[in-house]
């Protein structure tokens, strides 16, 4: 190998190594992948649970939805209440925000907790038969799974259960302890890394 070819190879190797190190550094600084959102009933009232390791500004929304009309064909299966692909967002909705919420937030729907402010409030109660989506955004958090739910799903929960969306639009029922454990484990992993 000639000196020029060797110099080119060394330079290429150095550039490649620098790019790999830069990518690793940027990945290490990327936002946490998840915060956790769940919906449940506490003392008969609908409640949102927002747990996050990041303490950035947060916004929470509850949208009333209606299923989109299926195409007119007899082969169309009836949609499951937990598989809401094709759902269109319609008004009304309720939204609140906080500049620096707590790491664990228990928020009664349609109320404004201390430290939070209302973004929009055209939804003030949940109607039986309607479909809803709870959604949240926290600064520096890549993704929070939204939770699709109905009043009927909430009233079927045991007192220690929550609705959670491991793979939206699919909604699962897990215990509150399992939900809290997901948050605690992930935050511990983030602290350790």
Domain boundaries, the chain: 1-30, 34-192
The whole-angstrom separation of Cα 123 and Cα 63 is 8
Q: Rounded to the nearest 5°, which phi and psi values hold at 74?
A: -70, -15
What is the separation of C-alpha 24 from the centre of its chain, rounded to a whole number of angstroms? 26
| C-beta of residue 151 within 8 angstroms of C-beta of residue 126 | yes
SS3 171: strand
Tens-digit pLDDT string for the chain (193 aa): 555 555 555 455 455 444 433 333 333 444 445 688 999 999 999 999 998 887 789 999 999 986 544 433 333 333 434 444 455 545 689 999 999 888 889 999 999 999 999 998 999 999 998 999 999 999 888 778 899 999 999 999 999 999 999 887 789 999 999 999 988 887 887 777 6
The whole-angstrom separation of Cα 141 and Cα 56 is 8
- pLDDT at res. 136: 92
Q: What angle do CA 189, 17, 22 make, to 5 degrees?
A: 45
- pLDDT at res. 79: 40
User: Which of 91, 94, 92 is CA-nearest to residue 120?
Assistant: 94
The whole-angstrom separation of Cα 40 and Cα 62 is 13
Q: What angle do CA 33, 42, 119 make, to 5 degrees?
A: 55
């Amino acid at each position: 190998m000639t000196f020029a070819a060797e110099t080119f190879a060394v330079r290429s190797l150095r550039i490649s190594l620098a790019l790999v190190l830069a990518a690793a550094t940027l990945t290490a600084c990327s936002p946490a992948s998840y915060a956790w959102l769940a919906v449940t009933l506490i003392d008969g009232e609908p409640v949102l649970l927002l747990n996050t390791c990041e303490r950035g500004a947060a916004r929470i929304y509850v949208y009333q939805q209606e299923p989109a009309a299926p195409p007119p064909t007899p082969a169309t299966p009836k949609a499951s209440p937990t598989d809401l692909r094709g759902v269109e967002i319609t008004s009304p909705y309720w939204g609140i925000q906080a500049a620096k919420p707590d790491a664990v937030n228990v928020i009664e729907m349609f109320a404004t907790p201390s430290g939070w402010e209302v973004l929009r409030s055209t939804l003030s109660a949940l109607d039986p038969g309607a479909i809803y989506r709870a959604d949240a955004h926290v600064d520096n958090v890549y993704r929070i799974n939204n939770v699709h739910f109905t009043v009927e799903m909430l009233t079927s929960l045991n007192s220690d259960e929550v609705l959670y969306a491991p793979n939206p639009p699919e909604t699962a029922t897990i215990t509150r302890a399992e939900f809290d454990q997901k948050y605690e484990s992930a935050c511990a992993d983030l602290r350790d890394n």
